[in-house]
Amino acid sequence: MFALDEELAVWEAQLGVLHGSSRLDLQVRLDLLVRLAWHLRQRNPARARSLALEAAPLLAQLPDSARAPYAARLMLVDGEARWLFGELDAARALAEQALRRFDAHDAAGRADAHWLLAWIEVDRGNSIDSDYALAAAAAAARHAGDRLRIDVFDAAAALFAVFRDLHSADARWGGRFDADAADLHPAARGWIDDYAGTTAFQASDFGAAIRLLIRSFETAMATGQLRRAINLATNIGNGFTSLNAHHAALEWMQRGLDLARPTGWPMSVGLGLMQTAETLRQLGQHQAAQQLLHEALATMAPLAGSRAYAIALEYQGDLALDDGDYAAALDSFGRLEVRGEALGQADFQSGARRGQAHALSQLDRPQEALAMAGAALALAREHGDAYNQIAALKVLAEIHARHRLPDPAPMVAANAALHYLQQAMAVAATIDGYTVPGALFDALAREYAGVGDYARAYEVALRSGAARETTHSKEATNRAIAMQVQYQTARAHTEGEHHRQLAAAEALRAAALQQISATLEHLSAIGQEITAHLDAAAVFRTLDRHVHGLLDATHFSVFLIDAAGASMHRAFGIEAGKKLPASRFLLSDPHANSARCVREQREILVEIAADDCTPNLIPGTLPTLSLLFAPLLVGERVLGAMTVQSLLPGAYGERERLIFRTLCAYGAIALDNASAYRQVAATLRALSATQAQLLEKNLELEQAYQALEEVSLTDQLTGLRNRRFFLQHVDADVAMSLRRYDDPLRQGQGAGERETAPGRDLVFFMVDLDHFKEVNDRHGHAAGDAVLIQMQERLREVFRESDYLIRWGGEEFLVLARATHRDEAKAVAERIRHAVAARHFVLPDGTRLHKTCSIGFACFPFLPSAPRLLSWSEVVELADQGLYLAKRAGRDAWAAVYGTERTRGDGLFARLMHHLDAALADGEVTLLASVAGLPVPAGPKKRRLGLAPGEVTS
């Protein structure tokens, strides 16, 4: 239903690497297109529409049964866009059509259709149909077992209930939610915070309300709920207004308006305008407020039935009363009463009747004013709303004080105004913690003085002063609360932004890795296609097709060295879709980048600024700005060079260069094969005595393939062997090691009685650079590469030529020390640790960097008390566990795993970690093998942490 920004970044990256045309690729692409369109429906509606259009031809290839859920989901995307733009009839038609398209098995889809229908009815002002649609959405979500949707729909229902009646809503929903549950989805937590914040607001706990609403706002922004974020920004502004922090209120109002205006959504823009206008009214800027309210009502005219439109009418009426325009106030409050009745919300109806009573009184229509104020009082009493009762009673007192009207019956006070004010004081006394406004005390004192009761008037005047003191104190407290909330919000925002940046960086890194993996897999398939051709023209066409499919290629050429070896010619060339004429130039030409690429046998990238002239431009070619050249190498032989060029600046980054290098490698092999095939064919046709030459060519091919095989077994950055080499050779070493042990079962010995042959063990070392990610983050990937290259040099210093040094992945290395006695392994591990920590690493810019490493090792054959030997892969896993122990012990350390049990659930490793944590907490590392009942190697039982640097033995 909702997705975080980081998830969208991953999906966008996945979509960017899908190039296949198989049915599976099309299905995956369609899934991504529809998913992205759905989750961009409010983040970026234009992009969502574009993705929906891109998905349309793919949908047409599916059978009707498979097409229906995708089509229905895209209808909801379109329907939500129309709802946001105020096209409520069209939005409803699309939502209902989508509801019919979702079959009985897609309960989540039906829930989302009902959810959209509920919000359409909210904007219509139809609360009954809105409640019905929301209940249907919740029922469908429960049928689907979708906890996120259930929590969101219930929180929305609770929120609507708060606006109708706070106490009933609290009784119904107060115990439903746990916003602190660890497994709660962020979107659900945001809706629950909104409900709790609105409840606090209605209860006048504005500080708590603002904190909760800000949390909800941030979640709405992170999950793509832009309209909700706009609403929340204005509600937060209202909270600050209630705390008399008007400048903070205006900041939030402006934030909401800044989010709303670019969207063009009438409800969102109108809401931002009217809330900003109300804040300006309270600051006394009536003209600016009037302009904004006029624009807000015009913007929301298509949504005149909504709650937001009703609020705008209320604000307009209040502003008209402030300006003394009582006819305009009467009109605004009259329209508000109609909307309040349609919405079924008593707060609007009560406020509308009071506003009309006030305006009618000022227009000298006392009987109508009296009737309207009495209706407001009756409604407030019906709903048990003490605050609105006090307000209505105060209006009744003002009407009687202004006009000569019959006294109410029964009346025990000296006059009608005093009668209603005393009733207001009586209601105020029933509200816990309520501070009676000084204005109410002043009105009461005036009436007592007017009837000659000066003692009571004096007493009430004193209470008025005390009330004002209390009010001023409360206002000061509110301002302090507002300042505290602003500080906490700013701090939380800073911390949250930091965490978001870290998460975004990690997501981008993961997406880049996934993209590289997918690209390499795709290139492998392309390589098989290219090298399958034995005709040079077919190789050129295949290369051209894939170069243009994978890269921005205005120009693509292949240059081959002539037989004499002194010059080269363009064997194939395409620019802007047209074939390029043949051309030839000397290899010694100082101006030809292709010749330089061949001479230096390296890749050349030329980047030209847009306003510069292209140097050495070949006549008849376009002035490209990005030029990439790479040699065609087969082993040590250079066949020529390939170039790809673009009219765009900076067209070829690391990913594009990797793709081009790979295509060059495959192209070189294919062209060499084609050349060899031509020679073989010529030999067969001529029936000449050239079999020796053919055998020589075959031998060269075999050598070339052997060279390629060697490359495939070597890590290109460090020159160390890679995982593939290790997996090809480790079984032979393991088998040889096992032959040097007597079979204990055959001789009747237990596993614990095995005897080792000195110098015949295999020791697996897992070595990992500590905090390597910081090198890349702070100094760049070139610095990280330099550190890895120097790391392999230090490993070579420690180990023998016969040992296997493997780059296992990233900054992690696996070393297989062959024919090494296990008692020597600890000394070797210490030499590794010292070799890394003792000298600085030098970065390309000359920076000297101190780094450490952590090491875990285990020996093979591994000799536990179990009646079987562990496999080499299990021993590698134990070495990796040792590495983990060394990391947990503080890094710059090594850990050896001498014995273990292979169990499930509560295994030894978990127990070792428990004891290690306890030892670390005490400043000690304890030799733990005895805890598990295993053989304890010789040495002291305990060592203080730090007395023996680098050693943690488990």
pLDDT at residue 578 is higher than 80: yes
Reference 662, options 516, 514, 515, 520; nearest CA is 520
The structure tokens listed for 8 are 């969208």
Q: What single string gives the DSSP state of each residue in 737-784?
A: HHHTS--TTTTT--GGG--PPTT--EEEEEEEETTHHHHHHHH-HHHH
The structure tokens listed for 49 are 């529409």
Question: How large is the average pLDDT for residues 634-649?
Answer: 92
pLDDT of residue 745: 39
Instruction: Kindly state the helix (H) or strand (E) to which residue 808 belongs, with its residue range.
Output: strand 804-809
Question: How large is the average pLDDT for residues 224-252?
Answer: 89
22 — phi, psi (to 5°)? -70, 165
601 — phi, psi (to 5°)? 50, 50
Question: Tell me, what amino acid is at 798?
Answer: V
pLDDT at residue 926 is higher than 50: no
Q: Report how far residue 573's alpha carbon sits from residue 581's, in angstroms, rounded to the nearest whole number.
A: 8
Largest Cα–Cα separation, the chain: 140
| 527-541, 812-826, 935-949: the lowest-pLDDT one | 935-949
840-859 pLDDT per residue, tens: 999 999 999 999 999 999 99
Q: What single string gives the DSSP state of each residue in 54-110?
A: HHHHHHTTS-HHHHHHHHHHHHHHHHHHHHHTT-HHHHHHHHHHHHHHS-TT-HHHH
Q: Report how far residue 178's alpha carbon sits from residue 329's, in angstroms, rounded to the nearest whole number.
A: 44
Q: Report how far residue 858's alpha carbon sits from residue 879's, in angstroms, rounded to the nearest whole number.
A: 5
pLDDT at residue 392 is higher than 80: yes
Distances in Å between the alpha carbon of 616 and those of 253, 590, 591? 59, 10, 6
Q: With helix as H, strand as E and coil as C, how does 812-829 read?
A: EEEEEECCCCHHHHHHHH
Higher pLDDT, 578 or 693: 578
Instruction: Kindly state the helix (H) or strand (E) to which residue 542 belongs, with its residue range.
Output: helix 536-550
518: confidence class by pLDDT, cuts 50, 70, 90: low
Residues 6+ apart with CB under 8 A from 329: 317, 318, 320, 321, 355, 358, 359
Sign of CA dihedral 820, 824, 829, 835: negative
Secondary structure (3-state) at 807: strand
pLDDT at residue 360 is higher than 60: yes
Higher pLDDT, 414 or 775: 775
Q: Count other C-beta atoms under 10 Å from residue 915's C-beta.
A: 15
pLDDT of residue 483: 60
901: confidence class by pLDDT, cuts 50, 70, 90: very low
The structure tokens listed for 125 are 């002002």
pLDDT at residue 944 is higher than 50: no
Question: How large is the average pLDDT for residues 294-303?
Answer: 90
Instruction: Kindly state the helix (H) or strand (E) to which residue 644 belongs, with its residue range.
Output: strand 637-646
Distances in Å between the alpha carbon of 749 and those of 901, 927, 934? 19, 28, 18
Question: How large is the average pLDDT for residues 331-337?
Answer: 92
Secondary structure (3-state) at 397: helix
Q: Count other C-beta atoms under 10 Å from residue 172's C-beta.
A: 14
Is the model's pTM score more than 0.85? no
pLDDT at residue 207 is higher than 60: yes
pLDDT of residue 333: 92
802 — phi, psi (to 5°)? -80, -15
Q: Is 183 exposed, middle or buried, given 0-12, 13-18 or 19+ CB atoms closer than 10 A? A: exposed
Question: Tell me, what amino acid is at 820?
Answer: T
544-554 pLDDT per residue, tens: 988 888 889 89
pLDDT at residue 942 is higher than 60: no
770-795 pLDDT per residue, tens: 999 999 999 999 999 999 999 999 99
Q: Report how far residue 762's alpha carbon sits from residue 746's, in angstroms, rounded to the nearest whole number.
A: 23
Residues 6+ apart with CB under 8 A from 876: 764, 766, 814, 858
697-720 pLDDT per residue, tens: 778 888 878 878 888 899 999 999
pLDDT of residue 617: 66
**In DSSP terms, which residues pair with 560 in a beta bridge?**
569, 640
pLDDT of residue 63: 83
**In DSSP terms, which residues pair with 634 in a beta bridge?**
637
Question: How large is the average pLDDT for residues 233-239?
Answer: 91
Question: Tell me, what amino acid is at 369?
Answer: A
515: confidence class by pLDDT, cuts 50, 70, 90: low
Q: With helix as H, strand as E and coil as C, how does 696-738 read?
A: HHHHHHHHHHHHHHHHHCECCCCCCEEHHHHHHHHHHHHHHHH
The structure tokens listed for 761 are 């063990």
Reference 754, options 899, 859, 861; nearest CA is 861
In 98-124, which positions are buried (b, 16+ CB within 10 angstroms) versus exposed (e)? bbebbeeebbbbbbbbbbbbbbbbbbb
pLDDT at residue 646 is higher than 60: yes
Pairing of strands 637-646, 626-634: antiparallel
904: confidence class by pLDDT, cuts 50, 70, 90: very low
pLDDT of residue 151: 94
Higher pLDDT, 177 or 684: 177
Instruction: Kindly state the helix (H) or strand (E) to which residue 571 belongs, with its residue range.
Output: strand 567-575
pLDDT of residue 614: 62
905: confidence class by pLDDT, cuts 50, 70, 90: very low
77-86 pLDDT per residue, tens: 999 999 999 9
555-573 pLDDT per residue, tens: 999 999 998 989 999 999 9
432 — phi, psi (to 5°)? -65, 130
Q: Report how far residue 82's alpha carbon sits from residue 701's, in angstroms, rounded to the nearest whole number.
A: 65
pLDDT at residue 910 is higher than 70: no
695: confidence class by pLDDT, cuts 50, 70, 90: confident
Residues 6+ apart with CB under 8 A from 873: none
pLDDT of residue 246: 82
**Residue with tokens 């790391």, as numbered in its chain:** 791
| 112-116, 347-351, 611-615: the lowest-pLDDT one | 611-615
580 — phi, psi (to 5°)? -90, 145
712-749 pLDDT per residue, tens: 899 999 999 999 999 998 988 888 888 766 454 344 44
pLDDT at residue 366 is higher than 50: yes
pLDDT at residue 934 is higher than 90: no
Higher pLDDT, 329 or 174: 329
Average pLDDT, the chain: 84
Question: How large is the average pLDDT for residues 639-653?
Answer: 92
Question: How large is the average pLDDT for residues 793-815?
Answer: 93
pLDDT of residue 938: 41
Question: How large is the average pLDDT for residues 876-900?
Answer: 89
pLDDT of residue 879: 94
Distances in Å between the alpha carbon of 709 and those of 674, 705, 712, 721, 828? 20, 6, 5, 12, 31
Share of the chain above pLDDT 70, in %: 84
**In DSSP terms, which residues pair with 860 in a beta bridge?**
762
